[in-house]
Amino acid sequence: MAHWEHRPESSWPNFRFNQPYSKGLDRLRHEVLAKTDFDPATLWQWGTMQAMAIIEILKTCERIFGREGQEAVYQALHKIGLDVGRQILEGSEKPADMSEAEFISYYATVINRIAYASLEAPKIDNDQQVSFDILWCPHQDHYKAFDCRVQRYFVEGMIEAMRERFPGCEFDVRFDSTIPAGAETCHFTLWRRDPEAKDSAAWTDYTAFIDAKALEIAARDRATETP
């Protein structure tokens, strides 16, 4: 059984979702992994190169173009996160007997274990709150703590996809600890928010804070560059 297939809750098998990028995934499984000596661990190396490139693109755009550069990269990553979320949820329906807490926890599991290729320990705390620990993240050995903001941009698109597909399913999210910052796990908490609120305050407010901090760093780096 693949790591993403099992959860102990009896309702987990009723959560229907789609595999993102299914065409390429099918080719990988049936034409490459099944028929060649391809080492799948190299996908981690390839993915790490892509991830580090995105971080460098973001930092370079911030240094050269300031807020406009940061916003351009944000919009691109948000768009991809939205697309992945739409792929996962396309055609899905929430079973009547599945609580919203279960639903959001299961959606997070698909994101964590498949889209982010991570090992996760999820928990449904109560009908108003869920949480999870990331036990291993593909980025943890090469990301600096501040680099995790790139993943926030993807996640904001994925949250938008969920709200788009299920307008009444409103949860806010925060991270409580991260591995790149020295914690044993990345711990996240999600809780029901006011459906009348326009934005997810805890998440977007912190995004705004770290974006401003990044621009300060970029400005200092630009000021110290040799002409």
Q: Where are the alpha helices (DSSP H) in the chain?
A: 22-27, 41-65, 67-89, 100-110, 149-165, 201-223
Percentage, residues of the chain above pLDDT 90: 83
End-to-end Cα, the chain, rounded Å: 57
Lookup result for tokens 């990345």: 186
The predicted structure's pLDDT at residue 222 = 86
Per-residue pLDDT of 172-199, as tens digits, reads 888 899 998 899 999 999 998 776 665 5
**Residues in Cβ contact with 148 at an 8 Å cutoff, skipping those fewer than 6 apart:** 139, 178, 180
Lookup result for tokens 């969920």: 162
What is the CATH superfamily name and number for domain 20-223? Trafficking protein particle complex subunit 3 (3.30.1380.20)
pTM to 2 decimal places:
0.92
The predicted structure's pLDDT at residue 145 = 86
Q: Which residues of the chain have pLDDT under 70?
A: 195-200, 226-227
**Residues in Cβ contact with 15 at an 8 Å cutoff, skipping those fewer than 6 apart:** 98, 102, 103, 106, 107, 110
3 state SS of 147: helix
Burial class of 161 by CB neighbour count within 10 A (0 to 12, 13 to 18, 19+): buried
The predicted structure's pLDDT at residue 88 = 98
φ and ψ at 5, to 5 degrees? Answer: -85, -20
Q: How many residues does the chain have?
A: 227
For residue 191, how many other CB atoms are within 10 A of its CB?
A: 18
The predicted structure's pLDDT at residue 202 = 77
φ and ψ at 218, to 5 degrees? Answer: -65, -40
The predicted structure's pLDDT at residue 226 = 58
The predicted structure's pLDDT at residue 171 = 87
- DSSP 8-state code for residue 96: T
The predicted structure's pLDDT at residue 196 = 65
The predicted structure's pLDDT at residue 198 = 56
Each domain of the chain, given as residue ranges in start order, spans 20-223
At position 27, the amino acid (one-letter code) is: R
